[in-house]
Amino acid sequence: MHLPWPQNSISRSIRFLVGFDNAKKVYSCVGDPDQRITFTSKEDIGRALAELSILSMSRLTVPDFVTLCGFTASFKEIKDAAARELGDIKLQSQSLVEYKREIEASLKIGEGKHPEVYVR
C-alpha cells in the first residue's frame, strides 16, 4: 500500500504563502479564480489511515493505491465563504503566463524564492 500524499493541506494553504491573507483581507491566485483546487486536511489523512489500518487487521482487502480528497473549491468559493465571517475580501488574480515568466526570470538572476511561494 502507498501512503497518501495530499496535494494541498488545508493547514498549509490557508496562509499568506499560498495566497490567503486574512489579516489584510486579500486573496491572491494565479490563473482563473474559478478553477477548483483539492484540499486535504491532516484530520482527513488521519481518519483514512485509521480506516485502512482497521481494514488490514480484519483481513479485508486494502487497495494498493489510495486517493484522498477532503474537499474541492475555487479561490472564489473560498473567498465567498470566508467573507461571510470576515467581511469583504478582495480577490486578485494574476495571469498564469505572466507568473511563470516572473518565476523563470527570478531563477535566472539567482533570486529564486522558497518553493512554497510558487505553489499558487
Query: What confidence score (pLDDT) does residue 118 get?
Result: 53
42-96 confidence digits (pLDDT tens):
888 899 889 888 888 887 778 888 888 888 889 999 999 999 999 999 999 989 8
Q: Which residue has the higher pLDDT, 110 or 105?
A: 105
**DSSP for 22-81?**
TTTTEEEEES-TT-EEEEB-HHHHHHHHHHHHHHHHTT----S-----SEEEEHHHHHHH
Does pLDDT of 41 surpass 70? yes
Where residue 30 falls among pLDDT bands split at 50, 70, 90?
Answer: confident
What residue ranges do the domains of the chain occupy? Answer: 10-118
Measured distance CA(119)–CA(102) in Å, rounded? 14
Q: Give me the percent of the chain exceeding a pLDDT of 70.
A: 75
Q: Taking all residues of the chain, what is their mean pLDDT, rounded to a whole number?
A: 78
Nearest residue to 2 via CA among 46, 47, 65? 65
